[in-house]
Amino acid sequence: MKSPLTALLLLLPLALLIGYISTQFTSSILLWSFIAAAIFIAAFVNVDFGLYILIFSMLLSPEIIAGDTEGASLRRGVTLRFEDFLLVVIGVSWFARNAVLKELGLFRKTPLNRAILYYMIACILSTGFGIITGNVPAKTGFFFVLKYVEYFIVFFMLVNHLETEQQVRRLVFFLFLTCFITTIIGIAQIPAGGRVSAPFEGEVGEPNTFGGYLVFIGAIAGGLILKEKWSKKKQALILLVIFILPPLLFTQSRTSYLAAIPAIFTLAMFSNKRFIAISLVIFSIILSPFLLPTAVKERVAFTFKQTKEAGQIELGDIRLDTSTSARLISWKEAFEDWVKKPIFGYGITGRGFIDAQLPRVLAETGIVGLCTFVYLLFSIGIVAFDSLRQVQSRYFQGLTIGFIAGFVGLLFHSIGANTFIIVRIMEPFWFFAGIITVLPTIELSPTPERQEVSAANSIDPPTILPRR
């Protein structure tokens, strides 16, 4: 009798609380609260489940403009997506799980921790000073810095959670599956004309963002193709790259074309037949004017052949189109403004929209922010090359090579875009950064199945350098 009575005494207040809450909020709020609670519980019980949902939401979730904000990207409000909502819920669940179970601690020690900490301190300080001086509206600065934090939460969730090769393979499979779905949607947009963009981009598409994402994921697939033996998996990867090419070309994103070239060259440098691979890449570039679609060739030629308009930059006999000219002018203005606030800059969004990564970082966070940002990029490269020197399995080496090639591509992409603060590029990037960081650790503690696979697929062991 005591058990049913105890249960009744516990459930009665809960039922009264639920009844009261249901009268205070709309049905939509209650529905979202129920979904959030369900995801929280599921992610708490099984972190993998939360990560799978997050992967699909990266490119397949709608956006919401959260009010009017000054200085936001493209002069729009703060853009929130469903994955922002998911990441908050899953992130809180991850914090709660670690607090309760004390599995690995909140932040596992990695070679990137210090660089991430320095960069975030620079962003917070510069934005704080910007709010105090009136350069940054508080709401805008808060939401944008919070978005930067989101990327690093993704990274730490991965490095804290991954323990086995099977986990890595499943996560990479779902990342590729998400990319494949977006390519199908992108290909479906081509017959309508115009520039191809990622799904659920709102009223104004972002072809540059989609192009950068496709270059990065394509590079990852390319790295695996280089190292995997001929099999159905390798055939599937080749098919994925084939499906990536049409939407990438029809984004008509010159910045993405620029990014693809060094990414492909990097892959060729890691090929076992390096000379042949590089020669094929050069030969393909030479033949590209005869092979590429007309829309792509016209887009590239437009850079130098736009009819004369106000605001164009002329360099001798060369006249740049208005879009390229506007970028160059904004870089010059950003440098001129930085001189006025050289230490901490104007704060995140305090300088307005600048469509290039380094000039934006310099103007917004000053020399302090630029130094910490460059240190972060350098640290990512060091971690990637250290992982490549340590891992021995073909699969892990292929992932790491692909990440390095994609990273190189994104560095070039950032010349004409805010690549390293764009959610739809940075979430997959930091997802893979987390994977690459822990690959040597996973390989050092293999399962019996892992030992068998490693013995079968191993190649000449690389020189192992000390971990930084």
What pLDDT is stored for residue 329 in this prediction? 83
Q: What is the pLDDT of residue 77?
A: 46
Cα–Cα distance, 31 to 37 (Å, whole number): 10
Exposed (0-12), middle (13-18) or buried (19+): which is 459, by Cβ within 10 Å?
exposed
Which pLDDT belongs to residue 182?
94
Amino acid 10: pLDDT: 56
Q: For residues 437 and 154, is the Cβ–Cβ distance under 8 A?
A: no
Cα Rg for the chain, rounded, in angstroms?
A: 24
In eight-state DSSP terms, residue 192 is G
Regions of the chain with pLDDT less than 70 = 1-37, 39-40, 42-46, 62-84, 94-95, 97-106, 202-204, 311, 445-468
Burial 371-382 (b: 16+ CB within 10 A, else e): ebbeebbebbeb
Q: How many residues are listed for the chain in this entry?
A: 468
pTM: 0.84
Q: What is the pLDDT of residues 60-112, one digit of tens each?
A: 776 655 544 454 444 444 556 666 677 777 777 766 766 666 655 567 789 99
Q: Is residue 427 within 8 Å of 377, Cβ to Cβ?
A: no
Per-residue pLDDT, 143: 84
Q: Residue 81 pairs with which residues in a beta bridge?
A: 63
**Placement of tokens 């819920």 in the chain:** 89
Q: Which two tokens stand for residue 439?
A: 């690959």
CA dihedral 295, 296, 301, 302 (to 10 degrees): 60
